[in-house]
Amino acid sequence: MAPNPYPAAPGDMGRRVAKRRDELGLTREEVASRAGMATSYLRFIEEQSTAAPGPGTLGTLAAVLDTTVVALNGGEADLPPGRLGRASPHAQFLELTPQECWARLNRHGVGRITVTTPGREAILPVNYSVVDRSIVFRTAPGSGPAEVTGTEVVFEVDHVDEALSQGWSVLVRGRAHRVEDPEAVQYLGKQVYSGPWPGDDDRSMWVRIDVEGISGRRIDVP
pLDDT digits (tens, 9 = 90+) for 59-106: 999 999 988 888 888 776 666 777 666 777 888 889 999 999 999 998
Beta-carbon count within 10 A of 185 CB: 14
Alpha-helical segments (H) within 178-218: 182-191
Task: Identify the architecture of domain 92-220 in CATH.
Answer: Roll (2.30)
Contact present, 73 and 6 (Cβ < 8 Å): yes
Look up residue 163 and give its DSSP letter: T
The pLDDT of residue 11: 57
Beta-carbon count within 10 A of 2 CB: 7
The pLDDT of residue 7: 42
Ranges of residues in the chain whose predicted pLDDT is under 70: 1-11, 76-79, 83-85, 163
Residues 6+ apart with CB under 8 A from 177: 149, 150, 207, 208, 210
Residue ranges of the chain assigned to CATH 2.30.110.10: 92-220
Task: Identify the architecture of domain 12-72 in CATH.
Answer: Orthogonal Bundle (1.10)
Alpha-helical segments (H) within the chain: 12-23, 28-35, 39-47, 55-64, 69-72, 98-105, 182-191
CB burial of 109-135 (b: ≥16 within 10 Å; e: otherwise) equals bebebbbeeeeeeeeeebbbbbbeeeb
* 31, 96, 105, 222 from 169: Cα distances, Å: 30, 9, 10, 18
Residues 6+ apart with CB under 8 A from 98: 214, 215
Beta bridge partners of 206: 138, 179
Residue ranges of the chain assigned to CATH 1.10.260.40: 12-72
